[in-house]
Amino acid sequence: MTTAAAPIRAKQRPGDRVFSKSAVFAGSMILVTLAAVATFLIVQSIPAFVADGEDASILDTNFWAYVGPLVFGTIWAAALALLIALPISIGIALFISHYAPRRLASALGYVVDLLAAVPSVVFGLWGIGVLAPAVQPLYSWLVDNLGWFPLFAGPVSGTGRTILTAALVLAVMIIPIITAISREVFLQTPVLHEEAALALGATRWEMIRTAVLPFGRPGIISAAVLGLGRALGETMAVAMVLSATGAITFELLTSVNPSTIAANIALSFPEAYGINVNVLIATGLILFIVTFAVNAIARWIVARRAEFSGAN
């Protein structure tokens, strides 16, 4: 009785081994897929970085001069969309979580989620067919009366297919995402905090300002950044709605508009050949890096406050 009994080892059954191995295999497939995405994009992009106007017909001078306006357009359109969508989304999330009658709240949330289910190409059709003609008179009015404001400088676009319209469509598309995440965070506010504020005589808005919003701030920020990531990568709606010329300009209402990376790929790829294909893939790589960075920031904000990890 000097040596301790060896710990009982679980019997290794073939079924167990097969099952756990295949689970590990499936998990590794994720690693392999992402590595493959990165590798293929980088390998295919290398010829583009050194190409000039003689190698690829869509380049004027070099790759960086080509991608510059596209990067600007991508960020500008996404930032405008976020600027429009964020206040509205927070309003909707507050309405569903704190203002709407309890019985209606989940149904209303479902209605907002319906917006997320609409395919982007349908948003594109709607943007051209309905939204652009509807906002064009408003744009004319803005240019005529507020033309001194640099963003609203003329001449006004006759079709309404400007960067602002594209940003409006993008905003409609990211509202459901931002709303869903902020709503979840608002609902997690400790009820005791809310009741304490109300018991001290706060009105509903004061309760929201002092209890709900400070608690939900990291959630709102990460929701906004995730929405920004979605807006950066959105393709078809922008490709269809925006009538792009490729200029770098901040003017919102003219017919001279910067294009976005994703929309440019979708429009140019079907006819591309030779090095042009590599150039377009390289712009895709840059889009991938930008969205990756934006999403990483969002995850980092979420991870800093672990209690919001369930929010996404």
Partner 1 sequence: MTTTITPPETRGPAAAPVSNSLTAGKLPNGAPWMVLGASLLVSAGLFGVIALSGAEFNWVGTFVVAAIIYVATITLLSRIVEGGRRSTDRFVTALVTGAFLLAMIPLISLSITVVTFGLNRFDVEFFTYSMRNVTGEGGGALHAIIGTVLMTGTAALISIPIGLMTSIYLVEYGRGRLARGITFLVDVMTGIPSIVAGLFAYALFAIFWGPGTRTGIAGAVALAVLMIPVVVRSSEEMLRLVPVELREAAYALGVPKWLTIVKVVLPTSIAGITTGIMLSIARVIGETAPLLIAAGFTNSVNYDMTEGRMQSLPVFVYTQYANQGNPPEAYLDRAWAAALTLILIVMVLNLVARLVARFFAPKYGR
Residue 155: CB minimum distance to partner 1, A? 25
SS3 59: coil
Residue 105: CB minimum distance to partner 1, A? 11
Judged by beta carbon, residue 172 or residue 223, the one nearer partner 1 is: 172
Measured between alpha carbons, how far is 177 from 198 in angstroms, rounded to an integer?
A: 30
Residue 2: CB minimum distance to partner 1, A? 32
Judged by beta carbon, residue 35 or residue 155, the one nearer partner 1 is: 35
Judged by beta carbon, residue 38 or residue 153, the one nearer partner 1 is: 38
CB neighbour list of residue 136: distance below 8 Å, 6 or more residues apart? 156, 157, 158, 159, 160
Let me know how long the chain is: 312
With b for 16 or more beta-carbon neighbours within 10 A and e for fewer, the 16-25 pattern comes to: eeeeeeeeee
Query: What does R_g of the chain's alpha carbons equal in angstroms?
Result: 25
| Distance separating the N- and C-terminal Cα atoms of the chain | 56
Residue 157: CB minimum distance to partner 1, A? 19
Residue 197: CB minimum distance to partner 1, A? 13
Judged by beta carbon, residue 29 or residue 250, the one nearer partner 1 is: 29
Judged by beta carbon, residue 216 or residue 254, the one nearer partner 1 is: 216
Give 24-27's long-range contacts (Cβ < 8 A, gap of 24+).
Answer: none
Measured between alpha carbons, how far is 221 from 282 in angstroms, rounded to an integer?
A: 30
